[in-house]
């Protein structure tokens, strides 16, 4: 086939972690048997996607700043004399913007230039299918139609709207606005007690905001091992965060005192009111499918997003999907891994399935809550026999030295001595999880972790000691 200016081997829709990863991998793929691929990428808003602009990077930067502020207030306990410690919110936001720029390796214009230097044609426009291989690109300046042999959809998700009376009319913010607020509210209600909700709760609380978390489920962090989730809940409550679980939010309305009133009920159906200055909605995500006109391409979808097979291929063989838009685990590292699977499958003779057997994730509170594999609740429901090993950080020398003894390591081990689940609540839990992830990926018996020789004193010894108990 002879290419015209608007013909491409691959078009990627979405410039977030998954989309850009796939585009770069395909554009830089060197294959002596095949000519270099012509790759294009279209992004309707900002390169870097949700994670860089409104999610992972800005929120973790804010959490780290809040952690430093929290530690500074405890300076006297270590014999340090810092005097009065405060913060400048405008300076905090400016720091977040600097970090985002560093991660992006420059401005949006520089990020685009970097992609183009890899041989990728980049458009900032809305993409809409007009046929299975044809996509219309439209922005304020122009409108054109391009063709692509393969198409990768990586448009991500957004905060899901909730059908609560008065919520939309009263107004609320999402993670998008929360990371760049011009002013902190005095009182904040967070709807949703999942990872996003509890991370923002601790961050805002440490900056002096009166925070209440409203959660429909009877527990917070319902996908986590509940022993560790409940331990974290107690730590967060000890910092002054109010948690209301097992509630039904009835309505939201403007309060006469220029606030926002939330009315909710408990199991006994008693009505309660909560008046705040702002509401943060953090209860679920919805796929970004609007405007794509997937019907024109015949791509099948469901409530969670685009249906894909084990190779990340949609119902249309030449159209692929990666990341949050597929409705699976919504993490940046998953999106990048799925994108790499697609890049391989587009260029290889034999496709390979996406390996989702060992996927770790972290809730970036302080202390962090990290896990990989199954929880006790899941194993019990599946009637799988297992053994449990717990190692409290209060018994680990390095944790005592660092004065970070909250939390524990929990290993769940099967009858064949393979690790079924690893859970860590503690400082740097996301980093500490790595050897457990490797052991599960390589299907190593737990004894291999117990036999490690680790430097003393380190927090990693908690993993070794937990494995040794089994």
pLDDT of residue 268: 76
DSSP 222-284: TTS-HHHHHHHHHHHHHTT-EEEES-EEEEEEE-TTSSEEEEEE-TT--EEEEEESEEEE-S-
CB 111 within 8 A of CB 47: yes
Give pLDDT, residue 29.
Answer: 83
What pLDDT, on a 0 to 100 scale, did the predictor assign at position 233? 98
Give residue 158's pLDDT: 92
Peptide bond into 457 cis (omega under 30): yes
Q: Determine the pLDDT at residue 33.
A: 67
Task: Give the list of residues 6+ apart from residue 5 with CB closer than 8 angstroms, or none.
Answer: none
CA 449 – CA 345 distance, rounded (Å): 34
417 Ramachandran zone, left/alpha/beta (phi>0; psi -120 to 50): left
pLDDT of amino acid 207 = 98
Residue that is written with structure tokens 């183009």 in the block: 116
- Return the closest-CA partner of residue 19 out of 353, 222, 320, 297: 320
HSE, side-chain direction, 13 A CA sphere, residue 159: 23
Strand partners, 373: 421
Count the neighbouring beta carbons within 10 Å of the beta carbon of residue 420.
Answer: 23
Q: What is the DSSP letter of 393?
A: G
What pLDDT, in 10s, does the model give residues 353-362?
A: 999 999 999 9
Residue ranges, the chain, pLDDT below 70 = 1-3, 31-33
Long-range contacts of 438-444 (CB under 8 A, 24+ apart): 440/357, 440/358, 440/372, 440/373, 441/357, 441/358, 443/418, 444/418, 444/419
Q: Cis omega before residue 430 (within 30°)?
A: no
Within 10 Å of residue 253's Cβ, how many Cβ atoms?
14
pLDDT score, position 270: 84
Cα angle 412, 400, 435; round to 5: 35
| Enclosing H/E stretch for 440 | helix 434-441
Burial call 217-246: b when 16+ CB within 10 Å, e when fewer: eeebbeebbbbbbebbbebbeeeebebbbe
Closest CA to 392 of 461, 470, 452, 438: 461
pTM: 0.94
Tell me, what's the pLDDT at 442? Answer: 97
Q: What is the pLDDT of residue 3?
A: 58
- DSSP assignment, residue 201? H
Which two three-digit tokens encode residue 287?
Answer: 């796929």
Instruction: Assess contact for 266 and 247: CB atoms under 8 A.
Output: yes
Q: Say what the pLDDT of residue 1 is.
A: 43
pLDDT of residue 104: 82
The Cα 6–Cα 163 span in angstroms is 43
- In the prediction, which pLDDT does 459 show? 97
Which strands, in side-by-side order, build the sheet including 260-265? 248-254, 260-265, 271-276
- Euclidean distance between the first and the last CA atom of the chain, given in angstroms as a whole number: 61
């Amino acid at each position: 086939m002879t290419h015209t200016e608007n013909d491409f081997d691959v078009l990627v829709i979405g410039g977030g972690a998954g989309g850009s990863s796939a585009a770069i991998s395909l554009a830089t793929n060197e294959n002596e048997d095949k000519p270099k691929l012509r790759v294009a990428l279209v992004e309707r808003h900002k390169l870097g996607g949700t994670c860089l602009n409104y999610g992972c990077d800005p929120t973790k930067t804010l959490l780290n700043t809040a952690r430093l502020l929290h530690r500074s207030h405890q300076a006297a306990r270590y014999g340090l004399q810092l005097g009065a410690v405060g913060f400048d919110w405008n300076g905090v936001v400016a720091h977040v913007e600097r970090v985002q720029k560093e991660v992006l390796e420059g401005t949006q214009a520089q990020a685009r230039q970097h992609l183009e230097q890899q041989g990728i044609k980049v458009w900032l426009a809305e993409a809409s299918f007009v046929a299975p291989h044809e996509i219309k690109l439209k922005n304020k300046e122009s409108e054109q139609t391009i063709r692509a042999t393969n198409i990768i959809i990586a448009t991500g998700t957004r905060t899901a709207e909730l059908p609560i009376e008065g919520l939309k009319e009263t107004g609320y913010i999402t993670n998008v606005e929360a990371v760049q607020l011009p002013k902190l509210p005095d009182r904040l209600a967070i709807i949703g007690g999942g990872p996003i909700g509890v991370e923002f709760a601790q961050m805002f609380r440490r900056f002096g905001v009166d925070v209440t978390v409203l959660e429909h489920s009877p527990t917070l962090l319902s996908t986590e091992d509940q022993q560790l989730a409940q331990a974290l809940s107690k730590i967060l409550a000890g910092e002054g965060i109010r948690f209301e679980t097992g509630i039904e939010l009835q309505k939201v309305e403007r309060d006469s005192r220029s606030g926002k009133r939330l009315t909710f009920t408990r199991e006994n159906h008693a009505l309660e009111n909560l008046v705040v200055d702002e509401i943060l909605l953090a209860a679920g995500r919805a796929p970004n499918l609007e405007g794509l006109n997937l019907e024109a391409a015949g791509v099948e979808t469901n409530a969670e997003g685009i249906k894909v097979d084990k190779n990340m291929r949609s119902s249309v063989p030449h159209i692929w999907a990666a990341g949050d838009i597929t409705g699976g685990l919504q993490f940046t590292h998953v999106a990048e891994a799925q994108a790499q699977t697609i890049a391989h499958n587009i260029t290889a003779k034999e496709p390979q399935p996406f390996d989702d057997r060992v996927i770790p994730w972290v809730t970036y509170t302080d202390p962090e809550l990290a896990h990989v594999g199954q929880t006790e609740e899941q194993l019990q429901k599946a009637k799988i026999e297992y053994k449990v090993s717990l190692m409290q950080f209060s018994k680990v020398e390095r944790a005592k030295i660092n004065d970070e003894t909250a939390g524990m390591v929990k290993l769940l081990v099967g009858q064949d001595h393979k690790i079924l689940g690893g859970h860590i609540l503690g400082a740097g839990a996301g980093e500490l999880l790595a050897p457990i992830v490797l052991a599960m990926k390589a299907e190593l018996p737990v004894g291999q972790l117990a036999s490690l020789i680790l430097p003393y004193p380190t927090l990693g010894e908690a993993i070794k000691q937990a494995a040794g108990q089994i």
